[in-house]
A and B are shown apart, each in its own frame.
Chain A
């Protein structure tokens, strides 16, 4: 049973009334169903088994009140203590959750091991996120696409070489890096269904060129707490198609 309530609630938009402050001991995560950054916070809360109420935001028609939660108007935002505590940024929220719920801490306690996990996440993100963005933005221009694929393949080569064991945590169980980088890999996985000419396969993604990564992706995808915090391939791919047509996609599949 998932600890995330409302993960598929309708996105709130301009004109919608603000939700009441969360009740005492309630954690709320402002999200958007297909946002990989928000998914990080959802996965972390799910794995740490923090009962959380999810409110989705329409990022193209943001409610005015949402800027009082996050001055950038971005997701995710974590809200608790009856609305008195607000934390933003997808790489910061997980650390905060580990600090306030140390009994389910995911990051290592050792200072050196902890900082190495944070550095590894940033190194992987700095390659994967912009590479995906370049492909996605070029998706309507087939001529441009093939050169954009190169940066994805390069990012995957680096990701494969940085994966030394079964998980990026360096232990026999997934950790901070595994949970937080997974959404970026999932987005590329969705591309394999969207684009016939995409150079990576859907089956056993990302394919025989990346043996460790293929095992890794399969293992993370199979974790129930990760699945509970993630959108299905069907909905993910469908939402991308709506986006490509310029149609609203936040509530796709609902």
Chain B
């Protein structure tokens, strides 16, 4: 296991900053956050040995504000340097640890993969639509129509087994967490008419269904993700403004 502390209890207000020894690498995470999962996936895919510190982002730690000015996850820290933002951490990790580079070195191929990942953020923007349905089931037909459009677009953008080509890469790791959140939503009653088995459905999304199965069953994803049951429960609590249990399932 490359990552330690993936299932550690979330630290919260009043907890002291854990010491980070010289040369060690740390990821500040929130177990159910798709943006933080992007960083976790990239660290795992690159094989960086890292200590994961899970955060309670409701009851924020005072000292964490010096690492992230908005107090959010993710952040990565090593050798006294902190880098934030899930849109920037992956490329930074490729620059800082080039021996396990995931993005192509060719400038044009690299930029096209970054632009593809950017285009796939449409999937990220689809997730809050399902939050709205969790709050009000009467919105289901209206909201899921847009989700289906986004999934169709994602299906059309998938030209190979993976967005990066024959192997998963930058756009795959950066978009997967949001597909997963839609999958979690599909397991809740009356939120979205998508299957949880063979998600999102081979009939409408044949390539995407194969892609999702490969991704969810991969060692990289399994080493950082949460179960469908706990993920769905947490997300439902988040969407319906209930108290959040950052240690759900631990």
Determine whether the beta carbon of B81 is less than 8 Å from that of A112. Answer: yes
Q: Tell me the minimal C-beta distance from A4 to chain B in angstroms.
A: 21
Given A119-B84, A122-B85, verify A111-B115 contact (CB < 8 Å): no
Interface residue? A114 (CB, 8 A): yes
- From the candidates A85, A89, A99, A112, name the one contacting B96 in the complex (CB within 8 A): A112
Interface residue? A95 (CB, 8 A): yes
The answer for the CA separation of A88 and B118 in the assembled complex, in Å, is 11
The answer for the CA separation of A115 and B83 in the assembled complex, in Å, is 8
Interface residue? B20 (CB, 8 A): no
Binding-face segment, B105-113, B140-148, B191-199? B105-113
Interface residue? A100 (CB, 8 A): yes
The answer for the CA separation of A85 and B108 in the assembled complex, in Å, is 8
Interface of A is mostly: helix
The answer for the CA separation of A111 and B79 in the assembled complex, in Å, is 13
Within 8 A of A (CB), among B71-94: 81, 83-85, 87-89, 91-92
CB contacts (< 8 Å) of A100 on chain B: these are 107-108
User: A61-101, CB under 8 A of B: which get 1 and which 0?
Assistant: 00000000000000000000000010111001001100110
Determine whether the beta carbon of B88 is less than 8 Å from that of A96. Answer: no
CB contacts (< 8 Å) of B110 on chain A: these are 99
CB contacts (< 8 Å) of A114 on chain B: these are 92, 95
Determine whether the beta carbon of A92 is less than 8 Å from that of B115. Answer: yes
CB contacts (< 8 Å) of B118 on chain A: these are 89, 92
Given A89-B118, A92-B114, verify A111-B92 contact (CB < 8 Å): yes
Interface residue? A118 (CB, 8 A): yes
User: A186-213, CB under 8 A of B: which get 1 and which 0?
Assistant: 0000000000000000000000000000
CB contacts (< 8 Å) of B88 on chain A: these are 115, 118-119, 122
- Which residue of the partner chain A has the closest CB to B81? A112
The answer for the CA separation of A87 and B114 in the assembled complex, in Å, is 10
The answer for the CA separation of A115 and B89 in the assembled complex, in Å, is 8
The answer for the CA separation of A99 and B114 in the assembled complex, in Å, is 14
CB contacts (< 8 Å) of A122 on chain B: these are 85, 87-88
The answer for the CA separation of A119 and B107 in the assembled complex, in Å, is 21
Given A112-B96, A118-B88, verify A87-B81 contact (CB < 8 Å): no
The answer for the CA separation of A112 and B96 in the assembled complex, in Å, is 8
Determine whether the beta carbon of A92 is less than 8 Å from that of B96. Answer: no
Determine whether the beta carbon of B85 is less than 8 Å from that of A111. Answer: no
Within 8 A of A (CB), among B100-135: 107-108, 110-111, 114-115, 118
Binding site for B on A (CB under 8 A): 85, 87-89, 92, 95-96, 99-100, 111-112, 114-116, 118-119, 122
Q: Which 4 A-B pairs have the closest CB atoms?
A: A111-B95, A99-B107, A115-B92, A111-B96
Apart from the given pairs A114-B92, A114-B95, 11 other A-B contacts in the complex at a CB distance below 8 Å: A89-B115, A89-B118, A96-B107, A96-B108, A99-B111, A100-B108, A112-B83, A112-B92, A115-B92, A119-B83, A119-B84
Listed by A's residue number, 25 A-B pairs whose Cβ atoms lie within 8 Å are: A88-B115, A92-B111, A92-B115, A92-B118, A96-B107, A96-B108, A99-B110, A99-B111, A100-B107, A111-B92, A111-B95, A112-B81, A112-B83, A112-B92, A112-B96, A115-B83, A115-B89, A115-B91, A115-B92, A115-B95, A116-B83, A119-B83, A119-B88, A122-B85, A122-B87
